[in-house]
Amino acid sequence: MILSLTRMSLARVAACLLVLAAGGCGSPTGPSDELPAQPQAISPAEGARATSDTPTLSVRNARGYDSGQAQYTFRVFNAGGTRELVDPVTVPAGRTTTAATLTTPLPRSLTVTWSVTAKGLAGEVTSTRFTFRTVAVECSSGRDPYAKAVVEWFVPACSLAQNIYNDPLEVLGPPDAGGRAPDMFFGFMSLGYQGHVTVDMEGCAVDGPGPDVRIYQTASREEVTLFAAGRPDGPFVLLEKEKRCGTPSDGLYSNHCDFDLATAELEEARYFRIEDGELFPCPGDTVTEGADIDAIQILHQKP
């Protein structure tokens, strides 16, 4: 009897030594017992700049929520943690660490926070919130503050058929609109019902004190919705919706309205999408349906 017990113990010790040699023993003294009580950030490092628009986030697993024991859900929020920015990603726990790659790109030049929740048979545990900065916007240098190129545009067919100011190139360069109502105008593009135009400024607007971008709008005080992005294909972030665009501009025919990157917590933006906010249903018995965009100007330009 004594002999057989000793044999069994020896066999156990030998098996455990083999497992240890392979990197861990699964016993109560193995590495999963050294895991923290909550998931801890590994990458991106706290406060670091991400190198991808869909970065891989990784954590050290929480104790009791290791491989085979849990699922990890990664969430990304704005800096204040009040708004979720992309779809959460859920993956099974890895061995002592777990990583997940975001499936939706993050806006550029943004400080974001993230957290991880591990769920398993033992219940669930959520990490504290960690911080990183998204990829920086690539900006050309220069002093010209006006839009340089049209990325894409959309005017619904009904508005296109009615309107006579349909050339998106009219929104480029400094404000130059003028003329007389209703059909002797020049220098702007009418967006039509819910239409839009997306422009590349080449340089970047930066978030300075107060407003950072000005939209010149001709013919009355129609409303404009403005989105900003760091890449031509977005993601586009809303700055303000249906903003009245009727402040008189000194010495110019067009009125204007101003927008602040801070409303979306953006540090920089290079691409802007100007969308009709007048929302006058087509056909509206007018040849200038929708907001009439003359120019886009950066007020705080990145040097």
Residues that bind Ca ion (CB under 5 A): 170, 176, 187, 207, 212, 260, 262, 294-295
- Between 223 and 260, whose beta carbon lies closer to Ca ion? 260
3-state SS of the chain is CHHHHHHHHHHHHHHHHHHHHCCCCCCCCCHHHHCCCCCEEEECCCCCECCCCCCEEEEECCCCCCCCCEEEEEEEEECCCCCECCCCEEEECCCCEEEEECCCCCCCCCEEEEEEEEEECCEEEECCCEEEECCCCCCCCCCCCECCEEEEEECCHHHHHHCCCCCHHHHCCCCCCEEECCCEEECCEECCCCCEEEEEEEEEEECCCCCCEEEEEECCCCEEEEEEECCCCCCCEEEEEEEECCEECCCCCCEEEEECHHHHCCCEEEEEEEEECCCCCCCCCCCCCCCEEEEEEECCECC
- Between 62 and 269, whose beta carbon lies closer to Ca ion? 269
Contact (Cβ atoms closer than 8 angstroms) between residue 172 and residue 148: yes
Least separation in angstroms between residue 209's CB and Ca ion is 6
- Between 212 and 222, whose beta carbon lies closer to Ca ion? 212
* Residue where the block lists tokens 């083999």: 18
Least separation in angstroms between residue 188's CB and Ca ion is 5
Calculate the alpha carbon distances from 29 to 14, 26, 34, 66, 72 in Å: 16, 8, 8, 15, 24
Least separation in angstroms between residue 163's CB and Ca ion is 15
| Beta-bridge mates of residue 271 | 200, 229
- Between 275 and 294, whose beta carbon lies closer to Ca ion? 294
278, two tokens: 């007048």
Least separation in angstroms between residue 175's CB and Ca ion is 6
- Between 44 and 290, whose beta carbon lies closer to Ca ion? 290
- Between 212 and 275, whose beta carbon lies closer to Ca ion? 212
Least separation in angstroms between residue 263's CB and Ca ion is 8
- Between 62 and 205, whose beta carbon lies closer to Ca ion? 205
- Between 260 and 278, whose beta carbon lies closer to Ca ion? 260
Least separation in angstroms between residue 256's CB and Ca ion is 12
Least separation in angstroms between residue 126's CB and Ca ion is 33
Least separation in angstroms between residue 293's CB and Ca ion is 8
